[in-house]
Structure 1
Amino acid sequence: MDGLDLHLVQFGLTVVFSFLIGLEVKTYRRHRQVEKPSDFFGTTRTITFVGILGYIFYILDPTLKLYIAVFAGFTLLYALFYIQKLKEGRSAILLYLVSLLVFSFGPLLVRFPFWMATLLFVTIIFILNAKGMIERMSESADTTEFETLGKMVLLSGVILPLLPHEPVSHLVPISPFAIWMAVVIISGISYVGYILQKYIFPDRGYYLTGLIGGLYSSTATTVVLAKKIASGEQRSVLDGAIIAATAMMYLRLIVVAGVFNMTIAKEVALPFLLFALVGFLISLLFLRDEKSTAGKSLYVDRNPLELRTAFLFAMLFVVMMVLTTYITSRFGLHGLQILSFAAGLSDIDPFILSLLTGKYSVTQRQIVSAIMIAAGSNNILKGVYALWFGSVKKSFRSALAVMLLGVATIGWALWI
């Protein structure tokens, strides 16, 4: 009975997944008019039957001979259909590839956990609907970006495992492996924001620019948006976008802290989530002043995976760790607080990483305080940038809001 119930579940899921993909394929082809109705091969019912055949013939013969024979027969049948397509100048094999994947649902459900077949189903649906996005990416992609990505993969997947795991010295109590791993993780987080900015949402509004830009670089995004305010475009929306970028910075710092030091991440989670929420609420208030949040394509066109950027980040990371070790051992908490404020006036990632991964003569609570001071100081810097690049008169509201968030963050840090 247990076996019967299991087979019933497997068969039912095969039918459901196959049927839904069949519907998706039919919708895809109808919208794009890929095939003429007279010669269309692979209706919703056909693809559903392909999935059922794959399941039935897989469980009937454990040696897989029958399964392979049906697979070969289906391939031969499609080959005959494909020959006719070639005569008409059409060479796409999308339907065949989708049918093969549907044919594999049975074995996947029998041999592997349920999530494997589910993941395949979701992937097929996503790729079928991603044609427009893929075309936009291929049209706008720069060939140098693929070269940069290849170099970074080489350094991360080949060179990284070969780096020593022993600490460099007593001043740098971290290994070359850990240093480069930190660079890879931070660059990866920024790269996600960069891809979302440039390729996934190329026609987004200014507010979405601020949200995604905050994941990539809230400081650079603030500068770009402030320049748009100076040109007189949609002031309220741009003010909201600048504040949203800063709110996203808080969420990004929580993620970074969670990757490298979960204990500290738990400590900063509450205040950073609170400040992020306040930032989002203030930014939404600005949006009410505008009827539309649309805007031209706008992004910070600098690939975070560029080797020069990565090596510079690694160097700053090491310098910050040496400097933090020296100052904490010589000047204690007050020295660390001053250093934190100064570090916030530049790129805060190397400094925060040095706090998360290093070993210093200060308490964990003091490290949390230092991270918050750096974040607050960085907000004050962004407020100054907003005033400088957007003019005092036009960017005053967003600059004031960002600065107040910075002051509140520093105040919380000094209070704990």
Structure 2
Amino acid sequence: MLSQTMNFIPPEFFKMLLVFFLSFLIGLEREEWKSISGKYAFGGVRTYPLIGLIGYSLASLSSGQMIPFSVGLIVIGSLMFLSYWHKIKSTQTPGLATEMVALTTYLVGALVYHNQFWMASTLVITSLLLLELKSVLEGLTQKFSPDDILTFTKFLFLTAVILPILPNQNFGEFQINPFKTWLIVVAVSSISYGSFILQKICKNQGNIALVALLGGAYSSTVTTVALAKQSTRTNHPHRYAGGILMASGIMYVRLALLIILFNPNLGKELTLPFSLLAIVGVGGGWLWSSRIESPTISLEEKKAYSSRNPLELKAAFLFAFLFVIIVIVTHYTALYLGSSGLYVLAGIMGVTDIDPFILGITQSAGQSTPLSVAAGAILIAASSNNIIKGIYAFSFGDRQTGKQSLFLLISLAILGLIPLIFQ
């Protein structure tokens, strides 16, 4: 009986019902905003559904011609102009969001008529989120500076401008792929930039664990040096030494993600040891820092180790250059010196930025370099890096923090070498 009844209902009825529902949601939100703020706003629960239905009707009557629909858009736009003009005369801070949402409602009607249901729904939901999150979004301006906007622009330049134009093919004796090389730069930059953004958002939440984890995702070496220097101004060695260990623990998570992304087979070799080392580093660091009072830090302390801009273009190009050089050096080392030579090179590379070396290993692992040898070299490089960070902490931190950090990081480095015994 129901199916027979449905056959008598034209499909246009359901489209108009969808337009009414989506437009009504916008009108309801605007009506609620007017009642809460007490300010003038165009339309409400009746006006917006009418605008949506007018958009649907004109799209239907246009029969593929844009002139009738465009005239309707001009009429609605003229009404929005008068509404905005009224707000300019009556308030010192007129907003344009309501008028833009009204034009959006008109377009929703046309989209539904042309069976663009997903686009129409997404447009309405996005509009509602932007309207409801007004205070939250405006609050972001207090956390992000013009330099941060420039940083985001650089991130887009690295990912959306440079990457797509690079050729995705191998060149030369070493089979260097420009696209894959820059993709590695983008991957490392994305993790660093994500950590940078989270630190900005959470900059007033002074918790040593949060700082250590986000800093470790950005750069455990930079975080170690910053925490060590800051420890000289306070007398909390356990807190800072624990934070330094946590930053090194989260380093293993970051490296595991990058390795799995660019060489899944090598990632399988290292998932278990890296997971255990991350748990030991993060968990052990948290326990070590909790041996004293609550690890809350002041805003002045937090400013001392806020991360710098992670997306300097010079650094990105330098990373790509180092990556290519290290791929070549690693190739010749494995070819002429074998696994022993590669292990020695890994130990040496650990005193610098290990990302180019480790990601270079991912390109040869399973081909010219056995997976077990590549995994061993990465473990050695990470352990060597932990030792050098311990030396940094000992050199830049206060005496107690330096001693504790050096002990903890050497212990983590030794644990990182244990898997080599079972290879």
Task: State whether structure 2 residue 217 is matched by structure 1 residue 215.
Answer: yes
Give the aligned partner of residue 368 of structure 1. 375
- Pair 1:92–1:191, CA change in 2 (3 A): same
Give the aligned partner of residue 261 of structure 2. 259
Give the aligned partner of residue 97 of structure 2. 94
Structure 2 alignment gaps of length 5 or more? none
Deviations 1:14-44 (A, max 9, x none): 777666666766777788x5xx44x33345x
Q: In 2, distance between residues paired with 1:175 and 1:281?
A: 39
Q: In 2, distance between residues paired with 1:30 and 1:376?
A: 61
Task: State whether structure 2 residue 287 is matched by structure 1 residue 293.
Answer: no
Give the aligned partner of residue 191 of structure 1. 193
- Pair 1:174–1:112, CA change in 2 (3 A): farther
Tell me if structure 1 keeps the 8 A contact 2:29–2:128: no
Task: State whether structure 2 residue 188 is matched by structure 1 residue 200.
Answer: no
- AA aligned opposite 1:223: V
- Pair 1:200–1:10, CA change in 2 (3 A): farther
Q: In 1, distance between residues paired with 2:104 and 2:53?
A: 12
- Pair 1:63–1:308, CA change in 2 (3 A): same
Task: State whether structure 2 residue 121 is matched by structure 1 residue 121.
Answer: no
TM-score normalised by L of structure 2 = 0.78
Three-state SS of the structure 2 residue aligned to 1:202 is coil
Q: Which runs of 4+ in 1 moved over 6 A?
A: 2-17, 26-31, 64-67
Identity of aligned residues (%): 32
- AA aligned opposite 1:211: L
Task: State whether structure 2 residue 310 is matched by structure 1 residue 304.
Answer: yes
Tell me if structure 2 keeps the 8 A contact 1:243–1:402: yes
Task: State whether structure 2 residue 319 is matched by structure 1 residue 318.
Answer: no
Q: In 2, distance between residues paired with 1:21 and 1:192?
A: 33
Give the aligned partner of residue 377 of structure 1. 384
Deviations 1:45-104 (A, max 9, x none): 358636863786488658477866665444333322212112234442012223444555
In the TM superposition, residue 292 of structure 1 has moved relative to its aligned partner by 5.3
- AA aligned opposite 1:49: P
- AA aligned opposite 2:368: S
- AA aligned opposite 1:169: G
In the TM superposition, residue 214 of structure 1 has moved relative to its aligned partner by 1.5
Deviations 1:343-396 (A, max 9, x none): 122101100111112365321232122222222222222222222222341344
- Pair 1:287–1:153, CA change in 2 (3 A): same
- Pair 1:219–1:30, CA change in 2 (3 A): farther
- AA aligned opposite 1:97: M
- AA aligned opposite 2:279: L
In the TM superposition, residue 330 of structure 1 has moved relative to its aligned partner by 1.6
- Pair 1:161–1:25, CA change in 2 (3 A): same
Q: In 1, distance between residues paired with 2:29 and 2:205?
A: 26
- Pair 1:136–1:412, CA change in 2 (3 A): same
- AA aligned opposite 1:357: Q
Give the aligned partner of residue 358 of structure 2. 352
Q: In 2, distance between residues paired with 1:236 and 1:26?
A: 55
TM-score normalised by L of structure 1 = 0.80
Tell me if structure 1 keeps the 8 A contact 2:195–2:215: yes
Tell me if structure 1 keeps the 8 A contact 2:231–2:240: yes
In the TM superposition, residue 217 of structure 1 has moved relative to its aligned partner by 0.7
In the TM superposition, residue 223 of structure 1 has moved relative to its aligned partner by 1.0
* Residue number among 154, 166, 169 corresponding to 2:172 in the alignment: 169
Q: In 2, distance between residues paired with 1:175 and 1:342?
A: 26
Please, what is the CA RMSD of the aligned residues?
A: 3.9
Q: In 1, distance between residues paired with 2:331 and 2:82?
A: 72
- Pair 1:184–1:70, CA change in 2 (3 A): same
Give the aligned partner of residue 147 of structure 2. 142
Tell me if structure 1 keeps the 8 A contact 2:384–2:413: yes
Three-state SS of the structure 1 residue aligned to 2:333 is helix
- Pair 1:101–1:241, CA change in 2 (3 A): farther
- Pair 1:30–1:62, CA change in 2 (3 A): same
Structure 1 alignment gaps of length 5 or more? none
